[in-house]
Amino acid sequence: MSRPQNCVAVLPCHNEAQGIGALVGEIKRFVANVWVVDDGSVDRTAEIARRSGATVIVHPECQGKGRSLLDGWAAARKAGYEWAITLDGDGQHAPGNIPAFFRAADETGAVMVIGNRMEDPKGMPALRRGVNAWLSRRISRLVESPLPDTQCGFRLVHLPTLADLPVAADHFEIESETVFQFALRRLPVVFVPIDVIYAAETSKIRPLKDTLRWLHWYAEARRQIPHGRVPAGHPQDLEANKRTRVPCSIQAL
């Protein structure tokens, strides 16, 4: 079964009425089914998303990006979808990059494909670039694997595989948590270069609160490393993957 036909796009959104209609329309050029998780918006996000052809899940109150993704993934799995591709609802991810994610999964057998903004980060604000690089280094060392962009929310994920993992983060640490759980078990993950898009939107990250929450998550993640070492041996040869540049400019874990 082709991935576009067995895949749903899941978009976590909070107050994105201004751009959600156009974004849904663009995504539907590549993925027929688009689900918007409206996380307590006080504008017309849900209404406009529905008019644009999206299925909408509504949180009456804001519960966080992580909870929005978890609810979207669970609903997609229940509806029978095998794959979900996630994009942020604020337009920072270019739908035109979606076919590269499908090609990457087809060519490598990966169960998670992550967008990589760090291969050519021109246009990314310097502070975000630095923070992203620092967080990615921390998680890479934790799982003893190279992870160039652990914070990118543009991802294709195999839902049955995800359902078997203890992913429970409610907020922005959801990106770290999912890649950590996949990498810890040596499940095949690859990275694909994507366009960097930053306009005048205001980040919804709360620097102090979300940083403290991430540090708490990181401390808990470290405790999950058995005897301080990552388990050896998914059938993939990780060292070979580090040396190999596979088609579509994919960076393999």
Predicted pLDDT at 128 = 77
**Residue 91, SS3?**
coil
Backbone angles phi, psi at 155, to 5 degrees: -145, 150
User: How far apart, in whole angstroms, are the C-alpha atoms of residue 252 and residue 113?
Assistant: 9
Q: What are the CA-CA distances from residue 2 to residues 35, 105, 175 (Å)?
A: 19, 11, 26
pLDDT at residue 195 tops 50? yes
**Residue 212, SS3?**
helix
pLDDT at residue 12 tops 90? yes
Beta bridge partners of 39: 59
User: How far apart, in whole angstroms, are the C-alpha atoms of residue 113 and residue 189?
Assistant: 6
Evaluate whether 185 touches 224 at the Cβ level (below 8 Å).
Answer: no
User: How far apart, in whole angstroms, are the C-alpha atoms of residue 38 and residue 58?
Assistant: 5
Domains of the chain, with CATH numbers? 3-252 (3.90.550.10)
**pLDDT winner (highest mean) among 28-37, 136-145, 171-180:** 28-37
| Residue 165 exposed, middle or buried by CB count within 10 Å (0-12, 13-18, 19+) | middle
Structural tokens at position 176: 């770290």
Which one, of 197, 180, 189, lies nearest residue 141 by Cα?
180
The whole-number average pLDDT for the span 72-85 is: 97
User: How far apart, in whole angstroms, are the C-alpha atoms of residue 52 and residue 186?
Assistant: 39
pLDDT at residue 86 tops 60? yes
Q: What are the CA-CA distances from residue 181 to residues 18, 120, 167, 189, 230 (Å)?
A: 34, 26, 7, 11, 11
Q: What are the CA-CA distances from residue 16 to residues 32, 34, 67 (Å)?
A: 21, 15, 17
Residue 57 vs residue 124, higher pLDDT:
57
The whole-number average pLDDT for the span 30-38 is: 97
Beta bridge partners of 38: 13, 58
pLDDT at residue 59 tops 90? yes
Contacts of 138 (CB under 8 A, 6+ apart): 218
The whole-number average pLDDT for the span 194-218 is: 69
- For 207-243, the pLDDT digits (tens) are 566 677 778 878 888 888 866 555 554 433 333 333 2
Q: Residue 47 — pLDDT band, cuts 50, 70, 90?
A: very high
Residue 222 vs residue 188, higher pLDDT:
188
Structural tokens at position 122: 């021109």
User: How far apart, in whole angstroms, are the C-alpha atoms of residue 91 and residue 96?
Assistant: 12
What pTM does this model have?
A: 0.83
